[in-house]
């Protein structure tokens, strides 16, 4: 169902299947097998995918073809990661389209009050996984038929990495947008002093030393026992010097 958008020009015909099977199955047997598969599936051979819902959202919001191609690229990147196995197609469609608009610097149309925690988490997970897409997908979406969106995504990730490593300087509009979406997802309890941030993700708090809890007091030392001649003779064969 995730491949509905692909071209169907290479689907073999029944006579080609006969040749592939060296004549072991005739056309009637192939038809019988197809009927058996359809009966087993109770004729449920389709399912609304993220592409289907993306098309509906694009018609409603009026996004252009470049945004559509970028969203399709992000959805196909998600197929490589188990984080999105249980993600609903509606959530994937909304998250991928909104992230595509941010990547391309287009106007935002989403209302943050209408988004729940799952949609924000999906948005951030897509942003994280688009840092290292599959080389096969990069080649596929680098063509003019897909508006070269893989190169656009590569430039966007390079820009975000440069901003993350930059010590000073004003943040761009897209960087501010990303920081706003990531504000409440991965935050942890922080200490009073400054905590370093890497790639816009707050690091966990530093484990405190024991002095933080004991103050300036030092632990009492255990008293040292004087050497015992009898014990030394028993275990080592010599006593202490008198």
Helix, strand, or coil (residue 201): strand
Element (H, E) at 80: none
If asked whether residues 115 and 157 sit together in one domain, one would say yes
Question: CB of 203 within 8 A of CB of 195?
Answer: yes
Among residues 152, 181, 210, the one where a domain terminates is: 181
* Intervals of the chain under pLDDT 50: 1-2, 184-219, 222-226, 231-232, 234-236, 238-242
> Residues 70-122: pLDDT tens digits?
999 999 999 999 989 899 999 999 999 999 999 999 876 665 556 678 888 89
> How many C-beta neighbours within 10 Å does residue 90 have?
16
Q: For the chain, where are the E strands, in sequence order?
A: 197-198, 201-202
Together in a domain, 61 and 116 = yes
Strands 197-198 and 201-202 come out as antiparallel
With a CB cutoff of 8 Å and minimum separation 6, the contacts of 240 are 227, 229, 232
Residue 107 belongs to a domain with what CATH number?
1.10.472.10
Total domains, the chain: 2
Same domain, 112 and 127: yes
Burial of 142 (0-12, 13-18, 19+ CB in 10 A): middle
177 and 103 in a common domain? yes
Domain that holds residue 16: 10-46
Q: What is the pLDDT of residue 199?
A: 46
Statement to judge: residues 154 and 136 lie in one domain = yes
């Amino acid at each position: 169902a995730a491949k509905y958008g692909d071209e169907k020009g290479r689907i073999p015909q029944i006579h080609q299947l006969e040749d592939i099977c060296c004549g072991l199955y005739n056309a009637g047997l192939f038809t019988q097998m197809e009927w058996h598969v359809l009966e087993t599936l109770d004729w449920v051979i389709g399912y609304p995918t993220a592409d289907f819902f993306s098309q509906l959202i694009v018609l409603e919001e009026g996004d252009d073809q470049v945004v559509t191609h970028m969203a399709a690229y992000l959805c196909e990147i998600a197929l490589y990661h188990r984080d999105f196995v249980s993600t609903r197609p509606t959530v994937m469609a909304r998250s991928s389209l909104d992230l595509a608009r941010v990547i391309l610097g287009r106007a935002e149309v989403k209302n943050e009050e209408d988004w729940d925690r799952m949609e924000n988490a999906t948005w951030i997970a897509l942003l994280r996984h688009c840092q290292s897409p599959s080389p096969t997908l990069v080649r596929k979406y680098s063509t003019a038929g897909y508006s070269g969106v893989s190169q656009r995504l590569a430039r966007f990730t390079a820009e975000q990495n440069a901003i993350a490593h930059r010590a000073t300087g004003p943040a761009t509009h897209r960087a501010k947008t990303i920081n706003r979406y990531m504000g409440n997802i991965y935050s942890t309890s922080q200490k009073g002093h400054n905590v370093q941030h890497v790639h816009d993700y707050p690091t966990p708090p530093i484990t405190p030393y024991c002095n933080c809890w004991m103050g300036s007091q030092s632990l009492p030392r255990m008293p040292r026992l004087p050497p015992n001649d009898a014990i030394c003779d028993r275990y080592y064969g010599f006593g202490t010097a008198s």
